[in-house]
Structure 1
Amino acid sequence: MHSQYKSRQGHTTLGNTKTTVAAPSWISDFKEITKMRLSISVVFSSLVGYLLGVDVIDFKILGLLALGGYFMVGASNGFNQIIEKDLDALMERTKNRPVPSGRMSVNTAFIISSIFTVLGIIILYSINKQTAMFGAISIFLYTCAYTPLKTKTPLAVFVGAIPGAIPFMLGWVAATDDFGIEPGTLFALQFFWQFPHFWAIGWFLYEDYKKAGFFMLPTGKQDKGTAVQTIMYTIWTILISIIPVFGFTGTLQLSIVAAILVFAVGIWMLYYAIRLFKLMSVKAARQLMIVSVSYITLVQIIYVVDKFIR
């Protein structure tokens, strides 16, 4: 869709032939401004959290959570692209986004993001107040803390991991209207997972990020220090992922078989983190990033399947 739009950009209508540029351009720009693929993966996390927390599935709430969650993530991404439009224009990866490329004005992006914020909070509030509160905190931290810190300090990744970890626990809070050890554990799992995930991205996009002055790696460089920290946070992620099997996490439980599967998937990710340490290459970092995405998806699926077959 997006490439089709770019190839047609600038064509004019001839005679009575109507152009079809507007529709695909707006659709592709909408997908870009809300980062649709990322938003859907975040919504998936919140739906998993809901399924883990609920006794009887209410499909109305499930739908509201998906819609409200998408609006919240889309708003965060929209505000982020407005703030970083000049920096995005410097990077190959982001220069064709709607705002830095000039296809969409800052005002239009701001209106879309603002509407998304209001709709997201209203929809999440209709589920319960705590869900709306955590959703609002997520937008605020992503936009007002993580985004400006990216050009200042590698600690930006730490700050960004907080709103990034909220969706998984948000689902539980939507299901139970309660925040306790269970959603706290889900939050911790997704929080620690983000470090190897984002550092892998920061590694293989190092040169591109450098053009915009983004500090994404913990040491600021593609070095052994960054690789060691990636391994350490991967280990923390694995440990947190199997905690529910020991019965410390209230109603969030895991069978021994599921815990073994979760642990095995964690070792798979750890292998690639160690591989990055050994090879110190862009290719190894890219492989770790791909594996990390597969890891969190598989762990969440194992958690849900285990709950419903136990």
Structure 2
Amino acid sequence: MSKTITNIHTIDLVSDFKEITKMRLAVSVVFSSVAGYFLGAEIIDFVEVLLLAVGGYMMVGASNAFNQVIEKDLDALMNRTKNRPIPSGRMSVNKALLIGSTLGALGLIILYYINPITSMFGAISIFLYVSVYTPLKTKTPLSVFVGAFPGAIPFMLGWVAATGSFSIEAGTLFMIQFFWQFPHFWALGWWLYDDYKRGGFFMLPTGKRDKGTAVQIILYTIWTIAVSLIPVFGVTGRLYLTPVSGVLILILGLGMLYYAYKLYQSRDEISAKKLMFASVSYITLLQIIYVLDKYIRIWI
């Protein structure tokens, strides 16, 4: 009986750890970082890839743990967050702070072992997410703009980890993920508007699910596509994309733009949800295409 109770307790601890670090988000960040590494590396060091993945997860996990400590009272007001470890009472604030501090310190040490500049960008990401973006979420819709900076670092971080320097290639990867976040998070904010409102969060650029917000989503979707295609023209150093892959990216982008336009037409939660998932598919497939394009060219 005691063994069964211990097993259940262990499962609960693992589940709470996954929630406090937002495992799905952290894994997507790690995926972006590893994609950036494969793009930047001339010779792949799989030890570095592992360190980047572990350090990256810790970095994001720390940011999310601190975020949930700060927003614990607001999380309790929203349906999608009220069962998180802290507002539900399953985890104390001190325990969450210990997890965040430990992960943050270890993550930055691991990234520093890869190279100092990677650790520096990791520290900047944590600082901006926790100290600037999180407090602004209840103050102004501009929080999404601020949050787009730490959110855009992972793709770039992989290139920096592989090369040890920031360059036009890393900057281009940063800009792709930077512009992408606006239609992604505004679609999410539109879909979960009522829940965010209960928590007092301002996620939409006009503060409302209106025509102005829908137009901005379309504009930022277009800019996301445009920035994603810049490497096709050979002006971004070693970061190059063949015209064939450029066409694939354009097709993906037009698909995302289609859902953005459908949201403009319908202005309902279902359309926003579809756009949100389309945006996730876009950035994931884009990163896969970028990496495959590079290595197919090398192998051929």
Pairwise TM-score range, normalised by the shorter structure: over 0.9
Deviations 1:158-182 (A, max 9, x none): 0001000000000000000110110
1:126 equivalent in structure 2: 113
1:206 and 2:188 correspond: no
Alpha-carbon distance in structure 1 between the residues aligned to 2:254 and 2:229: 12
Deviations 1:168-214 (A, max 9, x none): 00000000011011000000000000000000000010000000110
Instruction: Give the alignment's TM-score, normalised by structure 1.
Output: 0.94
2:161 equivalent in structure 1: 174
Q: What secondary structure sits across from 1:285 in the alignment?
A: helix
What displacement does 1:263 show? 0.8
C-alpha spacing 1:184/1:92, structure 2 compared with 1 (3 Å): same
Alpha-carbon distance in structure 1 between the residues aligned to 2:3 and 2:150: 47
Alpha-carbon distance in structure 1 between the residues aligned to 2:254 and 2:148: 22
- Give the one of 67, 86, 91 matched to 1:99: 86
1:234 equivalent in structure 2: 221
Question: Which residue identity is paired with 1:152?
Answer: K
1:165 and 2:152 correspond: yes
Alpha-carbon distance in structure 1 between the residues aligned to 2:194 and 2:247: 38
Question: Which residue identity is paired with 1:293?
Answer: V
- Give the one of 221, 238, 261 matched to 1:251: 238
Aligned residues: 296
Q: What secondary structure sits across from 1:151 in the alignment?
A: coil
1:28 and 2:29 correspond: no
Question: Which residue identity is paired with 1:125?
Answer: Y
- Give the one of 47, 51, 54 matched to 1:60: 47
1:31-46 correspondence to structure 2 within 5 Å: 31-46=18-33
Alpha-carbon distance in structure 2 between the residues aligned to 1:204 and 1:295: 18
1:148 equivalent in structure 2: 135
Deviations 1:24-45 (A, max 9, x none): 1101100000000100000000
Deviations 1:50-76 (A, max 9, x none): 000001110000000000000000000
What displacement does 1:21 show? 2.4
1:264 and 2:251 correspond: yes
Q: What secondary structure sits across from 1:104 in the alignment?
A: coil
Alpha-carbon distance in structure 2 between the residues aligned to 1:256 and 1:277: 30
2:291 equivalent in structure 1: 304
Alpha-carbon distance in structure 1 between the residues aligned to 2:171 and 2:71: 31
Alpha-carbon distance in structure 1 between the residues aligned to 2:95 and 2:227: 42
Q: List, as ranges, runs of 4+ consecutive aligned residues in structure 1 with deviation greater than 4 Å.
A: none
Tell me the percent identity: 67
Deviations 1:76-124 (A, max 9, x none): 0000000000000000000000011110000000000000000001000
1:48 and 2:35 correspond: yes
Question: Which residue identity is paired with 1:34?
Answer: T
Alpha-carbon distance in structure 2 between the residues aligned to 1:303 and 1:18: 47
What displacement does 1:17 show? 6.9
Deviations 1:8-30 (A, max 9, x none): xxxxx6xx674132011101100
1:5 equivalent in structure 2: none
Instruction: Give the alignment's TM-score, normalised by structure 2.
Output: 0.98
1:196 and 2:208 correspond: no
1:10 equivalent in structure 2: none
Question: Which residue identity is paired with 1:105?
Answer: S
Q: What secondary structure sits across from 1:21 in the alignment?
A: helix
1:216 equivalent in structure 2: 203
1:90 equivalent in structure 2: 77
5+ residue gaps, structure 1: 1-12
Question: Which residue identity is paired with 2:157?
Answer: L
Alpha-carbon distance in structure 2 between the residues aligned to 1:18 and 1:243: 57
Alpha-carbon distance in structure 2 between the residues aligned to 1:17 and 1:302: 48
Measured on the aligned residues, the alpha-carbon RMSD in Å equals 0.8
